[in-house]
Amino acid sequence: MTAETITTVDTGATIHPRWVRICHWINALAILVMIGSGWQIYNASPLFDFVFPRQIALGNWLAGALLWHFAAMWLFVVNGLVYVLLGFATGRFRRKFVPIHAGEVVADVKAALTGHLAHDDLAVYNAVQKLLYVGVILAGAIIVLSGLAIWKPVQLQALTMLFGGYDAARYVHFIAMAAIAGFVAIHMVMTFVVPKSLRAMITGR
Ligand code: HEM
Ligand code: HEM
C-alpha cells in the first residue's frame, strides 16, 4: 500500500486515492473496447433479432473484433483483479459499499426520482450508488467467467457446464454486457449531473 492511501484515508482529504482513479480509468477504456468488439462479434452470428450498427462496433469484421476482444480482455481482467484485491485489502469496499439496506435503497430511489437525493458529500455513497457499484463489480465477475466458458469450452468444460452449456453461457455473457452497458449509461449521466464528481475521479478531490 502506498503512503498516500493511508494518509488520505486518515485525513479524509482525498475522496478517491490514486489507485482507485488509475484502475477506474483503465477499466473505462477496457470496457469500451470490450463492448465495441463484443458487438462486432455478436453481429457475425446474432443471438436476437437485431444487429448493432457497424459504426459503433469495433474491429471491422469478426476476426478483427476477436483480436480486440482478446487483447483488451487482459487489461480488463488484470486491472479488475488489482482493483478488487486493493478494495478488500485497504478496507475501501467495507467502508464505502456496505452495508446496503433495502429500505434505504427504496427511499433513495424515491428521493432521486423526485430530485431530492443529496450528493453533498462525495466521499459517502448513497444506497443506490452502493447497490449499483457492487452490482457492476459482480456483473464484471460474471462476464469474465462466462467469457472464459465460451472461449475455452473444451479445456474449461466444468465451468461451461456450470452455466448450463455453451449456448446458455453465451446468453449469460450477453446479458451481463447489457447490464454493464446500462450501468455505464446511467453512471455517465450522473457523473455530469452531480457537480464535482468527475473532478474527484480525475484529481482525487
Ligand atoms: C475474460 C473476459 C472475457 C472473455 C474471455 C470473453 C470471451 C468472449 C468470446 C470467446 C466471445 C465469442 C462468443 C462467440 O463466438 O459467439 C465473446 C463475445 C462477446 N463478448 Fe466477451 N469476453 C470477455 C469479456 C467481455 C466483456 C468485459 C464484455 C463487455 C462488457 C464482453 C462482451 C461481449 C459481447 C457483447 C459478445 C458478443 C456476444 C455473442 O454474440 O455471443 N465480453 N466474448
Ligand atoms: C467514461 C465513462 C465513465 C465516467 C465519466 C465515470 C465517472 C465516474 C465518477 C465521476 C465516479 C465517482 C462517482 C461518485 O462519486 O459516485 C465513478 C466511480 C465509479 N465508477 Fe465510473 N465512470 C465511467 C466509466 C465506468 C465504467 C465503464 C465502470 C464499470 C463498468 C465504472 C465503474 C465505477 C465504479 C465501480 C465506481 C466506484 C469506484 C470506487 O469508489 O471504488 N465507471 N465513475
pLDDT attached to residue 1: 40
Please report the pLDDT score of residue 142 as a whole number: 98
Question: Per-residue pLDDT for the chain (205 aa), expressed as one digit of tens each?
Answer: 443 333 333 345 799 999 999 999 999 999 999 999 999 999 999 999 999 999 999 998 999 999 999 999 999 999 999 999 999 999 999 999 999 999 999 999 999 888 888 788 899 999 999 999 999 999 999 999 999 999 999 999 999 999 999 999 999 999 999 999 999 999 999 999 888 999 999 999 9
The confidence score (pLDDT) of residue 33 equals 98
Determine the residue type at 157: Q
What residue spans of the chain are helical by DSSP H? 3-11, 18-44, 62-89, 92-97, 102-113, 127-151, 157-162, 166-193, 197-203
Distance 185 CA to ligand 1 centre (A): 19
Q: Which has the closest alpha carbon to 84: 93, 72, 76?
A: 93
Q: What is the pLDDT of residue 11?
A: 43
Per-residue model confidence (pLDDT) at position 7: 32
Residues with CB under 6 A from ligand 1: 31, 34-35, 38-39, 41-42, 47, 69, 73, 76-77, 143-144, 147-148, 150-151, 170, 173-174, 177, 180
* Closest among 135, 136, 164 to 150, alpha carbons compared: 164
Q: What confidence score (pLDDT) does residue 12 get?
A: 52
Buried b (16+ CB within 10 A) or exposed e, 75-105: bbeebbeebeebbeebebbeebbeebeeeeb
Q: What does residue 122 show for φ and ψ, rounded to 5 degrees?
A: -70, -15
Residue nearest to atom 10 of ligand 2 (CA): 198
The pLDDT of residue 58 = 95
Name the residue at shortest CA distance from atom 8 of ligand 1: 147
Cβ proximity of 2 and 18 under 8 Å: yes
For residue 153, the ligand closest to its alpha carbon is 1
Question: Which amino acid is present at 123?
Answer: A
Specify the pLDDT at position 6: 31
Which ligand is the nearest neighbour of the Cα of 62? 1
